[in-house]
Chains A and B, each alone.
Chain A
Amino acid sequence: MKRIGTVIRFEYLGYVSAKVFRVTTIIFVAAILILCFLPQIASQFSKIDAFQGEKDKAVILLGGDALANPIYTSAFSAKTLESAVKKTTWTDGNKEDYSEEDLKKLIEGGDCLFAVYYNGGTDYSFFAAGSKISAYSALGTLDALVTESARQAAIARLPEGQRGEAAAISGMAAQVNLIEIGGNAENNFWIGYVIMFFLFYIIMGYGNYVSASVIAEKTSKAMELLITAAKPLDLMIGKVVGVGFAALTQVAAIVAAAAVGITANLTQWKAFQPTVFEMLTGANVSAALAALLLLFFFLGFFFYAFIMAALGSTVSRAEEAATTTMFPLLLLTAGLVLGFFTLSGAMNKALVSVLSYVPFFTPFVMMGRYSMGEVTVFGAAIGVIVLFAGVLVIAVLAAKIYRMGVMMYGTPATFKTVWKALIARG
């Protein structure tokens, strides 16, 4: 244990003091802070836009019963429209003054972005500059306004005694009191999604680093000294855990930056993107879910990192590593995709159950199943045990390959030599 601790410390310090680690951590932290401050940055841009007076121009022409009905004239006044469809300056007019051709010319000439030709009731024509997406975003708001105005006008036409009831009927909507017990699957979906991505990228990046680090020890010829001073299993575990801690340090820096950034911008996020805000802050992660997600995260990392260390030991040059590590990385990618399918519920449930107990896929698929509430705590715990056993078996097998591989220079290992190493005693 003492030796493993020594190796962990050496590997950890070696990695975190490397320039590449410091630079990438700074870049990640800066990127996450920029993302967190996005609402403020966006509002600055809005101010610039407002200052520059780049508001869209629109025309609304009323006709039919609109001219005679104060409800329509009030609803479609320039003031009402400017508060409903923001960033737009409205000009109103009488339908009789312009033909449809006149409106088309206005838009083609760039004098306005869109125009509304109101015919009465719920009937209106919407003329949009087809190449500009912002024209369409106004359509939804306008639609709701027209529908509501028509409804109000219709109610106004009813005898006085019926208006109250009609207004109540038209405003009727289901009153749902949602009481969530034991977490929120929608929020858990996002948490599962984010952690799966994190796990995938951590294994991709740091797993490859483990493999590259073993190759570097071989090429620098340090390996012969190392394996006479410590057991290969200790060296390999120390390396993987040391690199794992380095990964954790980087993730912790990113999460801390995100926490600081989000806390500093809570109000802005709430106003800027309510859905994203809900996603970021509303997740009701239970202690059991958090513990399981973390367990799958670490065990998944160790499972793949041991494989990468063993495979790294079988080659002598960095360029050979790409071919050797391709197979586990394919399995890793398959695991991620299966995890996403599990989250979306798009896969056969029986197949998902089976795959969630295959150690190559367990970190992703079981994480997905548990996040979506499709497996009991007991079932997930069995998954953890299976994955833990998988990590132990892989560690022992990897150590055997590592012991053989690290002393092979020049010729890459063949299946035969790897097999011989696996069945060797000790």
Chain B
Amino acid sequence: MIEVRGLTKRFGEKKALDDLSFTVREGVAYGFLGRNGAGKTTMIRILMNIFREDSGEALIDGAPAWKEMRRIGYLPEERGLYSKRTVIDQLIYLGKLKGMNPKTVDRDARVKLAEMDAAEYTDKKMETLSKGNQQKIQLAVALLGEPDIVILDEPFSGLDPINAQILKDAVRRQVSMNKTVIFSSHQMGQVEEFCDDICIIDAGHAILEGNLSEIKRSYPRNRIYIAADADGAAGGAAGAEKLSALLRDLPFVRAAEPYEAGLAVTIDEPGKKRALLQAAVGAGLSIDVFSVIEPTLEQIFVEKAGHGNPRGENK
């Protein structure tokens, strides 16, 4: 378990982290979200013992994080390796520095390259690889030595869809192996795809933290997706028309708008769901879909971090 308690970090007059606290449970994929300059990379660099905190602490299983560095695989935001050295030389070098067995590091490095679909670049110099392939090599470095904790800072930036998919598969493997994966990004779709828990930070302070499903469930469940059928064709135009006409007469309906194959209906309160369903069925509509629409992570993020928040940008 990773615990961050009251971390504060200043760069001159600028407060990059402001009493930041959060907890990462063991074996979960954790999304660390924030706008550009919110303090994500600073937080990660403190966790990786690159920066020193001004106050507060970062603990891994109760011990200071800097004492547990060998348990962490790290893909930094600022990526790069030695351009003139071969891929395998660099993996072996970094593997040895991470404390891997010198006798097996060569074999392990080759396995990791194969997992990243990069075996063909083993003896190539880094400078000859494309940016995407270099990024795959970097992820192979991060995963070398089978670390318990994997920290990925903006892992998908600058990747084409095929390489992004390879990286996603690699991350999924880590999650399925019950590793703790901390995922820093502002690409909400990818975080939503992988992460169980999230923390949104703004101006160096956590403004929302917890289990993503619970967070979503905590939002008012008064937005309903209804797809109905009036003439035998599910979600057909006649069904939508009849439903629209019905909704106009219901006093607890605040708004209705086209949504996927039907309508998104906003009602006064979640408790009116049953009344809405009964009204639709009573009007002779055959209901194909009736479900609560949960907010997307992007909507939650924009709501929490994208408004005229007084903390706003911190850089």
A contact residues vs B (CB 8 Å cutoff): 3, 6-7, 10, 14, 18, 216-217, 219-222, 224-230, 407, 409, 424-426
Contact = CB atoms under 8 A, between A and B. Distances in A.
B79 A221 contact: yes
B50 A225 contact: no
B193 interface: no
Given A224-B76, A409-B78, A424-B52, A14 B85 contact: yes
Interface residues of B, number: 26
Given A14-B82, A220-B81, A225 B52 contact: no
Contact of B81 (A6, A225, A424): A225
Nearest to A3: B97
Contacts of A224: 45, 50, 76, 78
B312 interface: no
A386 B87 CA distance: 43
A224 B142 CA distance: 12
Given A10-B93, A228-B69, A229-B94, A222 B50 contact: no
Interface string B80-115: 111111000100011011100000000000000000
Contacts of B76: 221, 224-225, 228
B22 interface: no
B85 A225 contact: no
Contacts of A219: 80
Given A6-B97, A229-B97, A230-B97, A222 B81 contact: yes
In the complex, which of the residues A10, A14, A224, A225 has the most CB atoms of chain B within 10 Å of its own CB atom?
Answer: A225
Contacts of A227: 50
B267 interface: no
A221 B80 contact: yes
B265 to A, nearest CB: 50
Nearest to B74: A228
Given A221-B80, A229-B69, 18 more contacts: A3-B97, A6-B97, A14-B85, A219-B80, A220-B82, A220-B83, A221-B79, A224-B45, A224-B50, A224-B78, A225-B74, A225-B76, A225-B81, A226-B94, A226-B97, A227-B50, A228-B76, A409-B78
A407 B50 contact: yes
B84 A225 contact: no
A230 B69 CA distance: 10
Contact of A7 (B52, B80, B97): B97
Nearest to A424: B52
A221 B83 CA distance: 10
Contacts of B45: 224, 407
Contacts of A222: 80-82
Contacts of B79: 221
A216 B94 CA distance: 17
26 contacts: A3-B96, A3-B97, A6-B93, A6-B96, A7-B97, A10-B89, A10-B93, A14-B84, A18-B84, A216-B82, A217-B82, A219-B80, A220-B81, A221-B79, A222-B80, A225-B81, A225-B94, A225-B138, A228-B48, A228-B49, A228-B69, A228-B74, A229-B69, A230-B97, A407-B45, A409-B78
A196 B86 CA distance: 38
Contacts of B82: 14, 216-217, 220, 222
A75 to B, nearest CB: 72
A11 B174 CA distance: 32
B141 interface: yes
B259 interface: no
Contacts of B78: 221, 224, 409
Contacts of A6: 93, 96-97
Contacts of A228: 48-50, 69, 72, 74, 76
A299 to B, nearest CB: 27
Closest 10 CB pairs of A and B: A221-B80, A229-B97, A224-B76, A220-B80, A221-B78, A6-B96, A228-B48, A230-B97, A10-B93, A222-B81
A217 B138 CA distance: 15
Query: Which of B48, B80, B89 has the most A CB atoms < 10 Å from its CB?
Result: B80
Nearest to B153: A224
Contacts of A424: 52
B55 to A, nearest CB: 13
Contacts of A409: 78
Contacts of B93: 6, 10
A409 to B, nearest CB: 7
Contacts of A229: 69, 94, 97-98
A24 B18 CA distance: 54
A257 to B, nearest CB: 27
A50 B138 CA distance: 69
Contacts of B83: 220
Given A229-B94, A230-B97, A426 B52 contact: yes
Nearest to B80: A221
A23 to B, nearest CB: 15
B139 to A, nearest CB: 12
Contacts of A7: 97
A202 B93 CA distance: 27
B73 to A, nearest CB: 10
B160 to A, nearest CB: 20
Contacts of B94: 225-226, 229
A426 B49 CA distance: 11
